[in-house]
Amino acid sequence: MWRTKKPKRSGWNLYSVVSDGDEDCFVVARNIRSALRVEAEYCGFDPTELSVYRVKPIPAPIVTAYAKRSANENRHHRWPWYADDWLLRKMGAQFGERESLLEVLIDDVVYTRGADDPVQPRTIGRKYLTEFRANKAFAHYGQEDHYSTMQMHLFTMLGICVARCQEIEHLIAHSFILGVSDAERRKYETIRDMIRGWRHKTLGQMLRSIEQGYEIDPTVHASLNLFLSMRNRLVHELTVDEQYDITAAWGQDETLAFLVFFEFVSRPVRRAFRASFYASVEYGNTYLLRDDPAKRQKLTKRQQKEISLFVAYFNQELHLPDWVKGELAPMAANLLTLSPCPAERYSVRRLARTTV
Whole-number Cα distances in Å, 315 to 9, 122, 125, 196, 209 = 67, 47, 45, 25, 14
Q: Up-side HSE of residue 245: CA atoms within 13 Å toward CB?
A: 6
**How far apart, in whole angstroms, are the C-alpha atoms of residue 264 and residue 268?**
8
Query: Is residue 176 assigned to a domain?
Result: yes
Q: Which of 161, 169, 166, 167 has the alpha carbon at shortest distance from 206?
A: 169
> What is the distance between the alpha carbons of residues 54 and 27, in angstroms, rounded to a whole number?
10
Residue 183 has pLDDT above 70, yes or no: yes
Average pLDDT over residues 4-19: 82
pLDDT by residue (tens digit) across 195-238? 888 888 888 888 888 888 888 889 889 999 999 999 999 999 99
Nearest to 89 by CA among 68, 73, 65: 65
Q: What is the pLDDT of residues 91-146, one digit of tens each?
A: 999 999 987 889 999 999 999 988 888 889 999 999 998 988 888 877 776 677 78
Could you tell me if 278 and 305 are in contact, meaning their C-beta atoms sit under 8 angstroms apart? no
Q: What is the pLDDT of residue 6?
A: 65
Does 158 lie in the same domain as 126? no
Instruction: Quote the pLDDT of residue 190.
Output: 76
Q: How many CB atoms lie within 10 A of CB 193?
A: 13
Same domain, 216 and 340: yes
Average pLDDT over residues 180-200: 78
82 and 122 belong to one structural domain:
yes
Spatial separation of the C-alpha atoms in residues 77 and 69, rounded to whole Å: 12
- Residue 306 placed within a domain: yes
The phi and psi torsions of 130 (rounded to 5 degrees) equal: -60, -45
- CA–CA separation, 275 and 171 (whole Å): 9
Q: Are residues 230 and 87 in the same domain?
A: no
The yes-or-no verdict on residue 338 having pLDDT over 60 is no
- 180 and 34, same domain (yes or no): no
User: What 3-state DSSP class applies to 28?
Assistant: strand
Determine what percent of the chain is predicted with pLDDT higher than 70: 85
- In this structure, the answer to whether residues 124 and 245 fall within a common structural domain is no
Q: What is the pLDDT of residue 270?
A: 94
User: Residue 302 domain-assigned?
Assistant: yes
Residue 66 lies in a domain: yes
Instruction: State whether 119 and 159 are in the same domain.
Output: no
Same domain, 85 and 174: no
Inside any domain, residue 137: no
**Domain extent at residue 244:** 149-353
Where a domain ends, among 130, 159, 175? 130
Query: Which range has the top average pLDDT, 150-164, 186-200, 214-228?
Result: 150-164
**Residues 237 and 345 reside in one and the same domain:** yes
Cα 179-185-186 angle, rounded to 5 deg: 145
Domain count within the chain: 2
Among 102, 233, 250, which residue's Cα sits nearest to residue 161? 233
Q: Tell whether 204 is covered by a domain.
A: yes
155 and 123 assigned to the same domain: no
Phi-psi region of 84 (alpha: psi -120 to 50; beta: other; left: phi over 0): beta
The answer to the question of residue 240 being in a domain is yes
Q: What is the CB neighbour count within 10 angstroms for residue 97?
A: 11
Instruction: Identify whether 135 is part of a domain.
Output: no
Q: Do 83 and 33 share a structural domain?
A: yes
Label residue 351 by pLDDT band (50, 70, 90): very low
pLDDT at 316: 66
Where is the domain boundary, 98, 130, 162? 130
E strand or H helix at 106, and its extent? strand 101-106
pTM value is 0.74
Last residue of a domain, one of 73, 100, 130: 130
Close Cβ partners of 148 (under 8 Å, ≥ 6 residues apart): none
Residues 74 and 191 in one domain: no
